[in-house]
Amino acid sequence: MNKSSHRFIYHRNIVLGLGAAGFLTFGVSLLLSPQAAQRAWAGLLLGNIFFLSLSLFGVIFVALMYIFNSGWAVIFRRVPEAMAAYLPFAALVMAVIFLGGRTYLYPWADALAMAENPHLHHKAAYLNAPFFMIRAVISFAVWIGFSRLLAYHSRLQDENGDLTHTLQNRKYAAIFLLMFGVTFLFSSVDWIMSLEPEWVSTIFPIYIFAGLLLGGFAALIILLIKFQENDLLSGVTHHHYYELARALCAASLFWAYIWFSQYMLIYYTNIPEESIYFARRFTGAGWWFSLLNLSLNWIVPQITLIPDRARRSPRHLLAVCGAVLLGRFIDLYLLIMPPIGQPIYSGLLGGIVFLGLLPLFILPLIHTYRSAKPIPERDPYLVESIHLHV
């Protein structure tokens, strides 16, 4: 057994250990008390949204590369393609959450609460269990179907080198992006915003999408660096990292702009009742979580990636992207934990539950990546990607 195999087994055991700790925490929490069970279900939802966002980013990134005839990322395209391997697991976990934990998380799932709250009466036609499940099934069917279609033609091109596969994927990518926009909008409202069904924000799905882009670029950079360190990928140079770092900074700025815009809605639309949403997150311990959220998702990448050499250094990028992923966890934590009506810091134990999903994201990703050639050898844009110079 070579050194690379030893490293893989070692890292796999760590991932499995963290996953076991997460699921053990989830199981024990369900048995402790209704409050602990509520935090456990919230932690599972947090973890699923976190890894689902990274998985969806992989499909979006590949689709955008085809749409814009972009060749610079071809050499590492197999990695974002493999990131989509979590999508079927995300669908399964979401079904478990809805069937077992919806009454703990969603006020509208309780018929008595729905009847007693006049603010929810006019939303009953939309916020109900059958319609919720139908929308979820449609969303996952679109995401999983198109992710596999894009990967199928990408791999088939390795066998015959037919340019038709690139043209086909360009068409499928355009259709996917249109359908993704609609399905992601409803999913953001269903799975996260309806945790607080009285509160409404028309900019909320854009905010979730901005976080998806930010976390996705950070995860992709980390995966590329780690794959190269473990001899799973070659050919990625500091020029590729430079381009990805620029994209990360752009996504960070976009996220911060949408965060500020959503916050300012309570002022320039003069809807004071919406301030309750932010009061839950900016009072007590929530103030420190919110400050850390802004720091990790916006200030850290913007400042630390200003030097040119910082955008080309794998070691520096690992640290920055690790901080960004921590920021993504905190951002989702602030979106999901406060609505369950407990002190904001009390959900930290439930936050450990999200580690239970780590093996379901990492191990299928590596298996999917290894099942194909690491580099799309017959892609017409491969030469452009190999000789990228910034």
pLDDT over 70 at 49, yes or no:
yes
Q: What is the pLDDT of residues 301-348, one digit of tens each?
A: 999 999 889 999 999 999 999 999 999 999 999 999 888 766 666 666
The predicted pLDDT at position 114 comes to 76
DSSP-derived 3-state class of residue 388: coil
**Two tokens at 131?**
């319609």
Q: What is the C-alpha separation between 370 and 385, in angstroms, rounded?
A: 21
Which whole number is the average pLDDT over 68-85?
95
The predicted pLDDT at position 347 comes to 61
* Least confident interval from 115-129, 202-216, 247-261, 312-326: 115-129
pLDDT over 70 at 8, yes or no:
no
The predicted pLDDT at position 263 comes to 84
- 133's CB contacts (< 8 A; 6+ apart) are 98
Q: What is the C-alpha separation between 48 and 86, in angstroms, rounded?
A: 10
**Two tokens at 222?**
């980390």
> Could you say which DSSP state residue 75 is in?
G
- 389's CB contacts (< 8 A; 6+ apart) are 239
Q: What is the C-alpha separation between 72 and 289, in angstroms, rounded?
A: 37
Q: What is the pLDDT of residues 149-197, one digit of tens each?
A: 999 999 999 888 888 999 999 999 999 999 999 999 999 999 999 998 8
* Least confident interval from 84-88, 126-130, 244-248, 282-286: 282-286
DSSP-derived 3-state class of residue 313: coil
Q: Considering the chain, what is the average pLDDT of its residues?
A: 90
The predicted pLDDT at position 1 comes to 52
